[in-house]
Structure formats: C-alpha cells, structure tokens
Amino acid sequence: MAFSLNTYPIVYRARYTATGWQEEYLEKPHKTPQEEENLPEAEREKLANSRNYYDDMPLVNYTTQYGLGCFEGLKALPQKDGGLAIFRPDQNGRRFSRSMAGLLMPAFPEDRFLQAVTEVVRRNAAIGFRPHYKKEWEKDSFMTADSIYIRPFSYAEGGIGVAPSKFPYVMVITTPVSAYFSAERSRATTTNRIRATPNGTGWIKAASNYVISTLAKYEANKAGFMECIFLDAREQKYLEEGSSCNIFVYLKSGELVTPELGDTILPGITRASVIELARDMGVRVSERKLSIEEVLSEGAECFVTGTAAGVTPIESLHHQGKEVIFNGGKVGELTATLRDTLKGIQYGTLPDTKGWMLRV
C-alpha cells in the first residue's frame, strides 16, 4: 500500500481561542524506528494505529457532522546531500489560509503554517522518523522514491447546530509515502458526476469536495480505469480536473492546455509549477476552456498533476463510448520531460533556480 496510515509520532496541534492561536507539539506512543521495524506485524500496526487516536478532542462537531473542514497536502523530500527539503510550503500555507477563510473559519496565519510544517518534519527526523536518499532512485527518475507526506488540516470544536467553526483546531500530521500512482495502467474516463458547481466550494481544498471524487473514482476503478475526469457542471462539455489532481492536454498544434482557474477548480501548486516549467522550456501554455471534443480529436499527450500524483501520464481518455489514445499509449516526450524536471528539482538532482525548496 502506497499511502500507509503509519503516522510519525510528533504531531502539531493549534487551537484558536479568545486570545489567539495556542500551539503545542504532541508526542504520540512510539519506539525507535528500528525497534518498530523489528516488531511482529500485528504489534507494529497496533502501535502505529494508536498514534491516530486523541481522547481529548470532540467527536460531535461541524467537521465530523457537516464536512466543514479543509486540508493541505505537501511533501518533504530526502535530498541527495542527506538533508530534507519541503516543496513550496509557502504556497500551501497561503492556500490553507484561504480555504479556512472560504469556510468562514479564522484563517490560520501563513507564517505559523510554515513554522509548523517545518518543525513537525524536523522533530520527527530528529528521533529517526524520516526516509533517506537512495542513489538507485535516480535510475527510474524517482518513480519509486520515498518521501514524507505532510497533512495539515482543520478540525472543528464541539457543536451540533449548523454553523461555521469559530474555534477550530489546526493539526499537522506526517506519514511516510512511496510512489502513489502505478506506472503501467493510466487509462482515464470522464464521469457524469459533478465534483464542483459554480458558486460552490470547488476552489477550496475542502474535505466535503472529496465525497463526489471518492464515488466517481471508485466507479472508474471498478470499470478498469485509473482515474476519472470531471466535466463542467453547466454543460458537461469542458474538462475540469481529476479526482484529486489537475489535468493538462498537449495538443497536436503544440499548445499545452490546462483548464483555466475559476470557482470550480482547485488551484494546484503542482499545476502552477508545471505551467512555469513548460513556459521556461519555450512551450506555448494556455489556461483556457478545453472541451472533451477537442481532446478527443486533437490531444497528443495528457497528464495529471498533484502533490501525490507528481506528473502522471494518462495513456488514454474514454468518453461515452469514444476513446483517444495519447501518443500510441506511450509516455509522451513533453510529459516525461516535465515529470523528470519536477522530480529532479524536488530531490535535488537539478538546481532549484526558483527557490521552491525549503530546507528543513
């Protein structure tokens, strides 16, 4: 399993109070990483599992009852020189603060966010909970490389009336992660489910947005596809994004297109980074409406982007009985170049000329 729930022991918790944000670092039950590795599997799981329980937090609240919560996802990556670095955490901090404000919660300050994610990674690493750089990852462009997934999220105070959270918690947990998307099967299909509607919460990294994504992705998987692609709510004609990732299509004309941002599309940080990298390479990049018909007839390469997905090539896209196979089913040249460039910057084998990596 790529996404394990083996959370690292040190957790950040803040709570908004009448006098502002109160912060603390919790140390959940653990042994040394080596001792944990040597435990029988059932015991190891029990220990890891116990780190996911908090008996001093309210069960009935606006998050568990009504889905009023938001989260972030970012990564700390082992560097060639032995260190750890986080990819663009300032951008996640900004988005998190906007998400909280968008859900009518007190926005979590961006400087606290930066401090918290860095400190959680640092403190866990100090007691041995961290992956180490392996030279062999370079052979397959870091497709099998390990990293630390950082998951900040909000959690409401107790309450059962329908109302926004006034005094939320902000938690930051971390978990080791290896390659998330499998390399071989990357067929995608459109879904007729609607992920986000105009004037809704699609632009917020809201927990509730994942209800529809979960259903649609499950259905796509059952039908033999890796990913589902959502179309716009009004006309069911224009591409929006995947279940948890943004989408790009490289057209035969040489134009790289990704749907323009609006209130139904999540502004991905990987998306923004890929746009910048592609433009630096001299590629014509457009953020505009992209119809499914245009993709079916003009698509040459296709990929999805996200913190978990990185740049993941899409081999084919199915839509109502029609199917476009991109680049004969092989990973396209532009897709591969963008994927390798991003990975190279993230793992420190390429120079970080844009200042995207924050050293822990």
Residues near ligand PLP (CB under 6 A) are: 73, 205, 241, 244-246, 266, 268-271, 305-307
Burial grade of 280 (CB within 10 A; 0-12, 13-18, 19 or more): exposed
Angstrom distance (rounded) from CA 71 to CA 96 = 7
Q: 13 or 205, CB closer to ligand PLP?
A: 205
Q: Which two tokens stand for residue 44?
A: 């190891």
Q: CA-CA distances (angstroms) from residue 349 to 86, 182, 271?
A: 15, 23, 21
DSSP 51-88: TT--TTS-SSBHHHHH---BB--EEEEE-TTS-EEEES
Q: CA-CA distances (angstroms) from residue 30 to 149, 178, 333?
A: 19, 21, 45
Q: 3 or 25, CB closer to ligand PLP?
A: 3
Q: 141 or 305, CB closer to ligand PLP?
A: 305
Q: 16 or 225, CB closer to ligand PLP?
A: 225
- Please, what's the b/e burial string for 15-41 (b: 16 or more CB within 10 A of its CB; e: otherwise)? bbeeeeeeeeeeebebeebeebeeeee
Q: 116 or 266, CB closer to ligand PLP?
A: 266
Q: 300 or 309, CB closer to ligand PLP?
A: 309
Q: Least distance (Å) from ligand PLP to the CB of residue 252? A: 26
Q: Least distance (Å) from ligand PLP to the CB of residue 70? A: 10
Evaluated on CA atoms 322, 326, 330, 335, the torsion sign reads negative
Q: State the first-to-last Cα distance of the chain, in angstroms, to the nearest integer.
A: 27
Q: Least distance (Å) from ligand PLP to the CB of residue 157? A: 24
Q: Least distance (Å) from ligand PLP to the CB of residue 96? A: 11
Q: Least distance (Å) from ligand PLP to the CB of residue 194? A: 13
Nearest to 181 by CA among 86, 297, 312: 312
For residue 342, the one-letter residue type is: L
Q: Least distance (Å) from ligand PLP to the CB of residue 239? A: 13
Q: Least distance (Å) from ligand PLP to the CB of residue 258? A: 11
Q: Least distance (Å) from ligand PLP to the CB of residue 269? A: 4
Q: 205 or 319, CB closer to ligand PLP?
A: 205
CB atoms within 10 A of CB 74: 23
CA atoms within 13 A on the CB side of 43: 8
Q: 244 or 327, CB closer to ligand PLP?
A: 244
